[in-house]
């Protein structure tokens, strides 16, 4: 089971500012360990952010995103007390969903 | 399971668009553009990349990418000299601001492109980021 991510969502003018810090190795598949063996690729491929059942962001990532990925963006139409959900799926089919209440 | 995923046989998770393997395995800006459905792209001042001139640590290079073109429905980040050029594609639904912050790895000093799709046109901005310590080494 993947580690939880930190999600924050806060009203910022007429938008909601979402920040997510995910916990993931983001292995490229090009590194080797100290025995010279290739470390298999393992990275987040899909990120989906939803608000009241509506997708407010859909992203696809490759191996160039840094380990423990950070993402920040804004959307309109959210209000205090509502929930924002952030979900990812990685190249091994692992997934993780976390949420935050908009403050 | 991982091999099945790698071979593209394993179905994508329900509800998620299929990961664009062709685009993420492309080695040049032109091939990524094609894989994302574009034919040609035009440099535009409406597309903005905010990034450090010099990245001390190539493993974590903070980027802010944005487009002021009103109909922007996609933003992508490309690192020209990484083994796979495309780093991320953000689909921008109505109501979401075309302005994202994330962090990328850079193997070496390289041009970084922000590619935007707006009203079916492809626009880009480019900036060279110098890397003093590469982020993709063993």
Kindly list the structural domains of chain B, giving each domain's residue range(s) and its CATH number in brackets, ordered by start.
27-131 (2.60.40.2470)
* Angle subtended at Cα B38 by Cα B65 and Cα B126, rounded to the nearest 5 degrees: 35
CA-based nearest residue in chain B for residue A26: B105
Two tokens at B92? 């921008």
Q: What is the mean pLDDT of residues A13-34?
A: 95
| Beta carbons of B15 and A48 less than 8 angstroms apart | yes
Paired residues of B64 in beta bridges: B50, B101
Residue-wise pLDDT for A59-68, tens only, equals: 999 999 999 9
Q: From chain B, pick out residues whose CB is under 8 angstroms from the CB of A58.
A: 16-17, 90-91, 93
DSSP state of A39: P
Of B24, B79, B89, the CB nearest to A59: B89
Of A19, A23, A24, which Cα lies nearest the Cα of A7? A19
ipTM above 0.90, yes or no: yes
B103 vs A30, A48, A69: nearest CB: A69
Residues of chain A neighbouring B84 (CB-CB closer than 8 A): 62-64
Quick check: helix, strand or coil at residue B3?
helix
pLDDT digit of tens for each residue in chain B (138 aa)?
Answer: 444 444 444 443 444 568 999 999 999 999 999 999 999 999 999 999 999 999 989 999 999 999 999 999 999 999 999 999 999 999 999 999 999 999 999 999 999 999 999 999 999 999 999 998 766 654
Residue of A nearest to B1 (CA): A92
- Asked if the C-beta of A11 comes within 8 angstroms of chain B's C-beta atoms, the answer is no
Dihedral through CA A68, CA A73, CA A76, CA A81, nearest 10?
A: 40
φ, ψ dihedrals at B118, nearest 5°? -140, 115
Structure tokens at A74: 């804004």
Give B119 to chain A, closest Cα distance, Å. 18
Q: Which residues contact A96 (CB under 8 A, 6 or more apart)?
A: A1, A2, A3, A4, A5, A22, A87, A88
Q: Cβ contacts (< 8 Å) between A64 and chain B: which residues? A: 77, 79, 82, 84, 86-88, 104-106
Looking at residue B18, what is its pLDDT?
A: 87
Q: The CATH number of A6-101 is which of 2.60.40.3500, 2.40.50.140, 2.60.40.10, 3.40.50.11540?
A: 2.60.40.10
The Cα-based distances of B23 to A68, B97, B135 in angstroms read: 23, 24, 21
The pair of structure tokens assigned to B40 is 């040609």
DSSP string, B64-88: EEEE--TTEEEEEEEETTSSS-EEE
Phi and psi angles of residue B30, each rounded to the nearest 5 degrees, phi first: -60, -40
Residues B106 and B135 sit within 8 Å (Cβ to Cβ) = yes
| Residue B73: CB atoms within 10 Å | 18
């Amino acid at each position: 089971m993947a580690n939880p991510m930190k999600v924050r969502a806060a009203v910022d003018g007429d938008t909601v500012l979402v920040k997510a810090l995910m916990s993931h190795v983001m292995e490229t598949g090009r590194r080797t360990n100290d025995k010279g063996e290739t470390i298999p690729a393992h990275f987040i491929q899909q990120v989906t952010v939803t608000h009241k059942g509506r997708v407010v962001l859909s992203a696809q990532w490759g191996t160039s995103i840094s380990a423990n990925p950070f993402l920040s963006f804004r959307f309109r139409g959210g209000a205090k007390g509502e929930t924002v959900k952030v979900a990812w799926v990685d190249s091994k089919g692992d997934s993780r969903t976390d949420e935050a209440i908009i403050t | 399971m991982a091999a099945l995923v790698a071979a593209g046989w394993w179905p994508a998770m329900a509800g998620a668009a299929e990961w664009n393997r062709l685009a993420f395995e492309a080695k040049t800006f032109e091939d990524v553009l094609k894989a994302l459905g574009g034919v040609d792209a035009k440099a535009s001042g409406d597309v903005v990349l905010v990034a450090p001139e010099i990245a001390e640590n190539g493993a974590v290079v903070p980027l802010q990418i944005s487009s002021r073109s009103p109909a922007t429905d996609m933003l992508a980040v490309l690192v020209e000299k990484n083994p796979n050029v495309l780093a991320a594609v953000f689909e921008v639904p109505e109501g979401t601001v075309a302005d994202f912050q994330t962090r990328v790895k850079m193997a070496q000093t390289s041009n970084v492109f922000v590619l935007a799709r707006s009203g079916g046109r492809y626009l880009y901005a480019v900036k060279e980021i110098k890397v003093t310590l590469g982020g993709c080494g063993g």
